[in-house]
Amino acid sequence: MRILLIHQYFLEKDEGGGSRFNTMSKAWADQGHHISVLAGMVHYATGTKRDEYKGKLVVHKPYLENIDVYRCHVSESYNRSFVGRLWAYLSFVFSSVYAGLFKTQENYDLILVTSPPLFVGITAYILAKVKRIPFGFEVRDLWPESAIDTGVLRNKFIIKLAYWFEGFMYRSATLVNVLTPAFRDKLIYEKGVPKEKVIFVPNAADFTLADYVRNNFDAQAFREAKSWGEKFVITYVGAHGVANHLIQVLDAAELIEDERVHFVLIGAGMRKKYLMEEAARRSLSNVEFIDSVPKEEVYKYIFASDVGTSVLKKVETFKTIYSNKTFDYMSCQKPVLMVIDGVSRQLVEDATCGVYAEPDNAQAIADQATWLSSREPSELARMGENGYRYAKQHFDRQVLADQYISKLVEVVR
């Protein structure tokens, strides 16, 4: 099968960040399917563009066997303001439509588009009509709800327009994939999406990479190189944006009296500079910032840590999502400090692989971090093993990739 994947945030080989479709498309390619990707030129977290793309509208880059990537222009105004980000989204729509019409010559069987941003649906709809093929729409974030809840989207006219467009996308798509059971219920029972159109293929753990790193990595030597010594390291991996609200981690770190507890924040985003300045202003020696690193390096940091943490702002919409990095922690057999309520909290409690702290409650986060640091190594190891087994049973990426491609094949047939 030949798939045209529209994913504005599809990663480069050496980039760090959310890699759901980088690994998913590789699994499909290994089965003999061919995937062409319309991707953006700007990294979703840093908002930066590589020199090789500047001044270019579309750049074709072979990625792996059976995977080709077409990097499409995105305005570098991405992280400057709401208007700048909106223009970045629309600039990708224009460039990706052009690339899909004139740069990709294959006869595709199906288009698969993944949000956010929701605007990528415009590209999918236009190309599906022109090429006369079905398209599947993946919902990785309930937008515009998340933008409204975090205060990013406030204009009533734009909000109304966004809801209309969201409904139009769901009506137009042949298939809609959701990443959590809460998303599925929301779409079916509140947004009126036909039940038979909705499938559930969640985020997942990459056990292949985790097991490879585990067998070829000296965690103790890595800790010594980082001067972590006897510190109790709690690592966060992910974006440093408005939605993540990592200031609550700094607030918690300031309250913790145990000098061994050490937070490591890995990633990039529009709030990172502010967070680093704030940590310096408060003289927080127990908070360390690391720039984004490739996925294999991410796993090294996790293996060398004692605990992984998932963090989001306290808003209703975020109760419906799974944090992708939680599955990375579980695949590395690390306990989880979950600072997200709702289905993510339920995941950790069902797997008995960590503890929950109320979001935006610095004292609760500090208390749970301190409690974890006081546990015996055997108890932490047991939590990690629980998470690994649970994720292996329910969230193995290879298994879910097989389920996903089977659903896509059904659509084409």
Q: What mean pLDDT do residues 39-46 have?
A: 82
CATH superfamily of 207-394: Glycogen Phosphorylase B; (3.40.50.2000)
The confidence band for 80, taking pLDDT boundaries of 50, 70 and 90, is: low
The confidence band for 213, taking pLDDT boundaries of 50, 70 and 90, is: very high
Mean pLDDT lowest among 25-39, 138-152, 380-394? 138-152
Q: What mean pLDDT do residues 219-233 have?
A: 95
Give tens-digit pLDDT for 274-316.
999 999 999 999 999 999 888 889 999 999 999 999 999 999 8
Q: What is the pLDDT of residue 154?
A: 79
Write the burial class of residue 257 (CB in 10 Å: 0-12 exposed, 13-18 middle, 19+ buried): exposed
Contact 7, 289 (CB under 8 A): no
DSSP annotation of 13:
T
Angstrom distance (rounded) from CA 16 to CA 267:
8
Is the full-model pTM beyond 0.75?
Answer: yes
Q: What mean pLDDT do residues 175-199 have?
A: 92
Contact 249, 265 (CB under 8 A): yes
Helix (H, G, I), strand (E, B) or coil at 401: helix
Percentage of the chain modeled with pLDDT above 90:
69
Question: What topology is assigned to 2-204+396-412 in CATH?
Answer: Rossmann fold (3.40.50)
Q: What is the pLDDT of residue 78?
A: 65
Q: Cα dihedral sign for 100, 103, 107, 112?
A: negative
User: Domain-by-domain residue ranges, the chain?
Assistant: 2-204+396-412, 207-394
For the record, the structure tokens of 191 come out as 């947004």
Q: What is the pLDDT of residue 45?
A: 67
Contact 310, 267 (CB under 8 A): no
Give tens-digit pLDDT for 352-408.
999 999 999 999 999 999 999 999 999 999 999 999 999 999 999 889 999 999 999
Domains 2-204+396-412 and 207-394 belong to one CATH topology: yes
Closest by alpha carbon to 276, among 289, 290, 258, 261? 289
Most confident of 85-94, 99-108, 120-129, 151-160: 120-129
What is the average pLDDT value for the chain, to the nearest integer? 91
pLDDT over 90 (residue 338): yes
Angstrom distance (rounded) from CA 159 to CA 143:
10
